[in-house]
Every structure is written in C-alpha cells, then in structure tokens.
Structure 1
C-alpha cells in the first residue's frame, strides 16, 4: 500500500527509531548518481515525515563528516503519513567528485551517509562506500537532496 499525503498531518513526526533507511537503485547522468533514500516505517504506529533529510558523507570508525552537508533542492513538499510498513523517499544527488580538481576537492574514501530525518535530532548511518571531497571549497555541491515524497 503506498504512503498517503494528507492535507493535515499531525505532530507525530517519524523519529530515527521509527524507520529503516536504505538507498534504492538509481540513475546516473551529467556526472552524478541519483538514488532514492527510502524511509520505511518499522514502528507499530503511523508517523509523518515532511521536508528535507539532513545528509552528509561520513568516514572512519567514528563516522566523522567528510565535506559539506547536502544542499536542499526544491520546496518542502507535503507531509507524508506512513503507516507501519509504508515507505517514503527523498532523492539524493551524489556528484562524481573525481570531476573536481583533486587539489581543491581532497578526495577521501567514505563509508556512507549520515542521515537525519526532517525535524529529527538523531541520525542513522546508511552504507554507501565511495569517495567524497574533504574540502568544502569546491565549485558546486557534492551532495544535494530533494524533499520527502510518497514512494
């Protein structure tokens, strides 16, 4: 059953403990990969997500941040109410950092992504090994994210 977009979602925001996060299959183009961040309600009660997840690359056993956090693209979108087992998604653009000048980018191996749900304060780790720019002084952004929508 697909997630619904109600006209008046309550204050029952999904928390990190309420959901499972994973990256779905995506597309590539124009020097980037586009992957849906799938947000599935695994709690026993409905909850709501709205807006932009916080996303950044992390590395090392301590999961320290690599480079800047993802920039938001588009508008906040409508609230998405998730019953148990339902999924919402937010598209993440991951730029191929090998297109940047290595001296400016400072390519760094990453383990994956740190993700904060919209309105959330606790993060979750999503594995996605690759390479990020350690520098925040690059032309453009290495990560961007769109708002959550029904999957």
Structure 2
C-alpha cells in the first residue's frame, strides 16, 4: 500500500511539473516572426518600406527629369507661317503648347495627315519628313510651345486623273512619340491618291 501511495504521489508531482514548464513557454506578446502583409523594418504602412526608401525613390524620379509630352498635355494650333508660301505651295505652322501644370519633353517629328469626309478619314498620303539632321530635344515648361513647319503642295498642281481631288476638313496631328492624335480644322483640297505626297514636315523647334 505504501508503495502504491508513493507511485501515485510521484505521478502527481510529475504532472504538476509538466504543467508549470508548459506555462513558462507561453508569451502574451505572440510570435515574433513577421506575418504576411506586415513589415519587419519597424513602423510604417505594411509593405510600403521605410521612409528613407520612399525618399530615395522620389529623388530618383526627380533626377530622371520631365517625362515625354503626351497628347493629353498639349493643345494644338494651326496657323499660316510667316512668309506665306511659294509658287504651287504654302507653308503652315503646327504649334503644340504645353497646357499642363508640369514640364515635359518633345522633339523630332510628329505625324501629320489630311482628314475629311466629316468623320476624320485620312485623305491621301501622310506628311513626308525632311531635315532629319536638325532634330532637337525640347523641354516645354507650362505655357511654352514647339513649332513644326508644314509645307503643303497645292492639289491643283496635278491632273484630276492623277490626284483625284477631294475636300479636306482639317489636319490630324500626332505629337512626337505618341499614338494619340489631335485635330485642327484646316479646310483645303487634297488628293485622294496616296501616290502623290502633298505634305512635308520639318522637325519641331522651340517657338520664338
């Protein structure tokens, strides 16, 4: 009986000791391992990185300089060029003004074509590019403009059979390196035949 009592007492002490050890291993602070969606670098928005990292990213963007001008940032004006034209042709200025609140860059050539039929359908061949060795990169501050000179050969210089003359409503203008276009009314006569190139453009330069 005494042996049995000792065994029962020993088992009870062992169980109590196990409970005490288990309690010591529990901490109200939870697991220190970072959980998904949290940052292990300290305070801050989960996944946003430290403030120094965000400042470094902002400095890099600033150092990169102005971005390329988009069609949404530009307004279009088409006007006669100084000097008018020559026999059989006329010169027109295509003016792109930065109408946004931020500077942007542009330069080189933009796409230009006649459109008509009341629905913006292209008429004839697009403008041919000349003077490619005078391409410049321009930074336009808000309100500043870039100018492209357009030479328009008169459709009347060609026979009706070759030209297939048609009424033009205006000009579709693509700013340099853009896939979105701008439109300006510019009534004239074009050639439906794309084998005849009536339009010729020079690179953009800064407005005087």
Common fold: TM-score over 0.5: yes
Q: Give the aligned partner of residue 145 of structure 1.
A: 201
1:122 Cα deviation (Å)?
0.2
TM-score, normalised to structure 2, is 0.65
In structure 1, stretches of 5+ residues that fail to align are 1-8
Bigger radius of gyration: 2
The size of the alignment, in residue pairs, is 141
Q: Distance in 2 between matches of 1:100 and 1:81?
A: 40
Q: Distance in 2 between matches of 1:20 and 1:30?
A: 31
Task: Pick from 72, 80, 99 the counterpart of residue 157 of structure 2.
Answer: 99
Q: Give the aligned partner of residue 4 of structure 1.
A: none
Q: Distance in 1 between matches of 2:65 and 2:107?
A: 11
1:61 Cα deviation (Å)?
2.5
Comparing both structures, which one devotes a greater share of its residues to helix? 2
Q: Give the aligned partner of residue 130 of structure 1.
A: 188
TM-score, normalised to structure 1, is 0.89
- What does 1:10-25 correspond to in 2, within 5 Å? 10=65, 12-25=67-80
Contact 2:66 2:103 in 1 (8 A): no
Q: Distance in 2 between matches of 1:137 and 1:145?
A: 17
Comparing both structures, which one devotes a greater share of its residues to strand? 1
Q: Distance in 1 between matches of 2:189 and 2:65?
A: 39
Task: Pick from 69, 85, 88 the counterpart of residue 146 of structure 2.
Answer: 88
After TM superposition, the structure 1 stretch with the greater mean CA deviation from structure 2, 113-122 or 22-31, is: 22-31
Runs of 4+ in 1 over 3 A off after TM superposition: none
Structure 1 residue matching 2:178: 3-state secondary structure: coil
Q: Give the aligned partner of residue 49 of structure 1.
A: 106
In structure 2, stretches of 5+ residues that fail to align are 1-63
Structure 1 residue matching 2:161: 3-state secondary structure: helix
Q: Give the aligned partner of residue 65 of structure 1.
A: 122
